[in-house]
Amino acid sequence: MADRILTGIKPTGKLTLGNYIGVLKHLNEMTDRGEAFIFIADLHALTLPIDPNELRQNSIDLACFYLAAGLDPEKAVLFLQSEVSAHSELNSIMQNYLYMGELSRMTQFKDKSAKMKENAIGLGLFAYPVLMACDIVLYNATVVPVGEDQVQHVELTRDLVNRFNNRYGDILQMPKAEMRKVGARIMSLSNPTIKMSKSDPKGDIFLKDDLAVVRKKIMSAVTDTGCEVKYDVENKPGISNLLTIYAALKDISIEEAEAHFVGYRYGDFKKEVADVVCEDLGKFQEKYHYFLDNKLYEEVLKKGAKRANEESQKLLKKVKQAVGLLTVSE
Ligand code: ATP
Ligand code: LTN
């Protein structure tokens, strides 16, 4: 059976090299394995305060990022989550099958809520994984390409599928998370023990950064004592992170990257990493501007919403029927 690929990214801010390497860059080759549903998780973006104009602009940007990364709209369905109402409808049903205890154990919720005042934590942030599970099961996804931080949410989706199917029969498809072998967790350049994250912009490379800025950021990335370019996450987290970035962009293994840099000094090593990042990002940025300036995203998103609406209604109907919701109209 062909795979069914599904993934989403939140339009919450400037995308980073982490998002690019972890997910974006490889989406196109995944579409060779089966039909892909790729979306802009704009409803998820509302789970933390965001300015409306910024959200709209970020959504356009993200559509262009997907296209610039090589996503082929003939092979993949690209759409805005909020334009497909089945996500929210299924959410109303599925919220009854995931429990407070398990939701409160989600690392993303714990991390994000820890930075907030208790009386300002929205219910949506807590219930986030319910909507994410709905995104996944609505399209009978078998493979969910994500970075490492999202694997826990996909595991919870798997629990939901088991629970729901045990009760109602074989309704939901079992998905599985798929991470990049190299690059599932790109670390911050200023603190290589934490994830490079768009909500924590120190040490980030943003996809729209000027290439001169990108080069400067890499040249001043935190490195480690010693002088050997070796992959050793515990003792050389900074060097290991740069090696990972290089290997992921070159599509080679860490061992191959290490072998390439034998005998290099840190300065020359960083320069070569910067060359590779700038070359890749430079091409990516050109394509991004092409899709943005010609507004090519509009037609793609319209067509995508139509197809996603058709497809998601099928599963929604099945679920409504399974749980006993009566349909008389239609
Ligand atoms: P935030 O930091 O605001 O939570 P995020 O970047 O983690 O944002 P998304 O933009 O929705 O969240 O993530 C999109 C995809 O990119 C997810 O699959 C996520 O796992 C992946 N991703 C995010 N950061 C990294 C990283 N540093 N390395 C590899 N993959 C990443
Ligand atoms: N939670 C993800 C974004 C996201 C997603 C999804 C990813 C929302 N729905 C469904 C994969 C499948 C994030 O924060 N990166």
Q: What confidence score (pLDDT) does residue 127 get?
A: 97
Cα(47) to centroid(ligand 2), Å: 12
> How does pLDDT run across 81-90, given as a tens digit for each residue?
999 999 999 9
Q: For ligand 1, what atom is nearest to the CA of residue 195?
A: 27
- Active site (annotated) includes residue 198: yes
**CA-CA distance, 330 to 328, in Å (whole number)?**
7
Cα(150) to centroid(ligand 1), Å: 8
**CA-CA distance, 174 to 140, in Å (whole number)?**
8
Which of 9, 125, 149 maximizes ligand 1 atoms within 8 Å of its Cβ, making it the mutation to test the pocket?
149
**Mean pLDDT along residues 129-134:** 98
Q: How confident is the model at residue 199 (pLDDT cuts 50, 70, 90)?
A: low
Q: What pTM, to 2 d.p., does this model score? A: 0.94
Q: What confidence score (pLDDT) does residue 166 get?
A: 98
Q: For ligand 2, what atom is nearest to the CA of residue 141?
A: 12
- Active site (annotated) includes residue 283: no
Which of 12, 17, 19, 42 maximizes ligand 1 atoms within 8 Å of its Cβ, making it the mutation to test the pocket?
19
